[in-house]
Amino acid sequence: MKPLILKGVRPYGEGDPTDVLIRDGVIAAIGSVDDEGARIVDGGGAVLLPGFVDLHTHLREPGREDTETIATGSAAAALGGYTAVFAMANTDPVADNEVVVTHVARRGREVGLVDVHPVGAVTVGLEGVKLAELGTMAKAGVRVFSDDGHCVHDPLIMRRALEYSKALDVVIAQHAEEPRLTVGAQAHEGEQASRLGLQGWPASAEESIVARDCLLARHAGARLHVCHVSTTGTADVLRWAKARGTEVSAEVTPHHLLLTDERLATYDPVNKVNPPLRTAADVEVLRRALAEGVIDCVATDHAPHAVQDKDCEWSAARPGMLGLQTALSIVVETMVRTGLLDWRGVARVMSERPAGIAGLADQGRPIEVGEPANLTLVDPDATWTVRGAEFASIAANTPFEGMELPGVVVATVLRGRVTALGGRIAE
């Protein structure tokens, strides 16, 4: 592989533009660099960040290759600035065994645009009844386990999963939703859902599980990760749990940082997602919690869906929205432009913390000589208009359609190799 020079880039958006030389997948020099045989990418003063890590992606393969494959999802990830993604276990068949997780990891390597880490199911078939073979999957390289889409609602199963995970040095990621409180739920329980006649998904259904799991994790002395935090109350619970030393981490999605249930008035299911879009007050709290570190990181919950599963009546539609190619821009819009995060902060929530939570040794590393060259170059001043049809994903279900957003991914570098450049997948 030819050496690579990123010319005129600003690591973490700080200082004057400088050059970064990458050789053999590692940052070889920063400053005035020279290598005559190197490929040169002109940064034009863009911000250089560690490559993004997404703890929560649905790549849909195996099972729903009509909406996304590991190849198309990897391309979307690279274009979105990601160098590692965690592929959720709710595929068909479910990734609750060594065979499926190994297949997903291998397909990811074959495509080679982003490190694809399979998430293993916590329970067999995501049914919440019987622990899946966590140990066998951990041996096959699985670092994160989740029944995402379903809550591990039985407190005894959750306790056992947390306890068992300790010996494996893995983390259990919980989709916090008390199922008895969300039977038939369609929208955030509040004024808007009441007006629209949509069955409510109460905030307390999330908060009560997060509170319970924080107590269980502390009791078990285990680590817990909370998926897609969506409410003020959950942020409060996390703050409390962290203050008393519970090993809990949490993620928030870009859509929960920007959108509210006001969007539901059209009944267009492109806005249907689980957990549901909440209120403006929740959005404000989530942004601040992310800035303060109460919520550790941003995860996309990238969820491709076929047209027929969205272009229908609200209650028949599947929940979920695309996220990989819009995440950075939403973070710039909601966190950077508001002054809540600087670029160091963006590096923290998009790369360093998620890599740390999952225990990835070669991701989320400092931009320093000798470190692996997993990097993302961002033009902070450019804007672009979202067009779902132009995404690398097969599906096009983006709620941000037509929005003009700030922040453009100029290039993504995976172990020294350019995977995306100027909005195109690098050949």
Partner 1 sequence: MKHLLTTEGIDPAQATAILDTAASLKQALEGREVRKLPTLRGRTVITMFYENSTRTRVSFEIAGKWMSADVVNVSSSGSSVSKGESLRDTALTLAAAGADCVIVRHPASGAAHRLAGWLREAGTSVVNAGDGMHEHPTQALLDAATLRERLGDLRDRRIAIVGDVLHSRVARSNVHLLTALGADVTLVAPPTLLPTGVEGWPVTVSHELDPELPGLDAVMLLRVQAERMHGGFFPSAREYSIAYGLSERRLKLLPEHAVVLHPGPMLRGMEIASAVADSPRAAITDQVRNGVHVRMAVLYHLLAHEEETS
Give the interface with partner 1 as residue ranges (CB under 8 A): 186, 189-200, 202, 266-268, 308, 311-316
Closest CA to 214 of 202, 226, 203, 204: 226
d(CA 97, CA 135): 10
Q: Cα dihedral sign for 147, 349, 380, 255?
A: positive
Q: How far is the CB of 264 from partner 1 (least distance, A)?
A: 9
In the set 147, 301, 309, 379, the catalytic residue is: 301
Q: How far is the CB of 250 from partner 1 (least distance, A)?
A: 25
Q: How far is the CB of 190 from partner 1 (least distance, A)?
A: 5
User: Residues 71, 111: contact at Cβ < 8 Å?
Assistant: yes
Q: What is the 3-state secondary structure (H, E, C) of the chain?
A: CCCEEEEEEEECCCCCCEEEEEECCEEEEEECCCCCCCEEEEEEEEEEEECEEEEEECCCCCCCCCCCCHHHHHHHHHHCCEEEEEECCCCCCCCCCHHHHHHHHHHHHHHCCCEEEECECCEHHHCCCCECCHHHHHHCCCCEEECCCCCCCCHHHHHHHHHHHHCCCCEEEECCCCHHHCCCCCEECCHHHHHHCCCEECHHHHHHHHHHHHHHHHHHCCCEEECCCCCHHHHHHHHHHHHCCCCEEEEECHHHHHCCHHHHHHCCHHHCCCCCCCCHHHHHHHHHHHHHCCCCEECCCECCCCHHHCCCCHHHCCCCECCCCCHHHHHHHHHHCCCCCCHHHHHHHHHHHHHHHHCCCCCCCCCCCCCECCEEEEEEEEEEECCHHHCCCCCCCCCCCCCEEEEEEEEEEECCEEEEECCEECC
Amino acid type, 144: V
Any catalytic annotation for residue 301? yes
Both tokens of residue 393? Answer: 């994903």
Length of the chain measured in residues: 427
User: Residues 344, 379: contact at Cβ < 8 Å?
Assistant: no
Both tokens of residue 200? Answer: 């409510």
Q: Which is nearer to partner 1, 108 or 200 (CB)?
A: 200
Q: Which residues are catalytic?
A: 301
